[in-house]
């Protein structure tokens, strides 16, 4: 299974992104290939926060539109939303315990561990920070 990170969701949604067309094609390819793909819940929440943020975009996405996009992604028949299972804290601690992570890196670790827990084969992301997590294969489908 392939999972997608926040940045691909944002690029695919925001037509003002220079990566819009490529990111949208990546998501369309996943949605139409007939097999399951995944979105970690933290990435969906972060997508909503980013696209509606007026300090990130001069014309942010209206909240209702952003939420409609979240619902459309979540209701895609091939999508599996990855949430934290009951034993997540134990798995999180065992996988990232020695990495000395701080600040925003905790979000990345949460996404990486969620992917690992659900057996994700690849995490598609443009974020190089995921390279610190040897337990998950990260692929940049945009090649940027």
Dig out the tokens for 100 from the structure: 């000395």
Q: Are 126 and 5 in contact (CB under 8 A)?
A: yes
Domain annotation for the chain: domains and CATH numbers? 2-139 (3.40.50.1010)
DSSP type of residue 52: T
Residue among 80, 96, 89 at smallest CA distance from 133: 96
DSSP-derived pairing of the beta strands 2-4 and 122-124: parallel
The model's pTM: 0.91
131 has pLDDT over 90: no
Share of the chain above pLDDT 70, in %: 99
Which residues on adjacent β-strands are paired with residue 39? 81
Q: Which range, of 23-27, 34-38, 122-126, 129-133, averages the lowest pLDDT?
A: 129-133
| Cα 80-82-84 angle, rounded to 5 deg | 155
């Amino acid at each position: 299974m392939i999972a997608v990170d926040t940045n691909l969701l944002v690029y695919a949604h925001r037509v003002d992104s220079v990566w819009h067309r490529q990111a949208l094609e990546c998501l369309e390819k996943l949605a139409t290939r007939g097999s399951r793909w995944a979105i970690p819940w933290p990435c969906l929440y972060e997508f909503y926060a980013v696209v509606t943020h007026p300090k990130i975009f001069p014309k942010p996405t209206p909240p209702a539109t952003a939420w409609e996009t979240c619902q459309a992604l979540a209701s895609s028949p091939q999508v599996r939303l990855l949430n934290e299972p009951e034993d997540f804290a134990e798995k999180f601690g065992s996988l990232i315990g020695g990495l000395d992570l701080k600040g925003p890196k905790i979000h990345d670790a949460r996404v990486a561990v969620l992917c690992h827990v659900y057996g994700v084969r690849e995490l598609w992301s443009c974020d190089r920070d995921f390279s610190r997590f040897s337990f998950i294969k990260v692929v940049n489908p945009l090649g940027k």
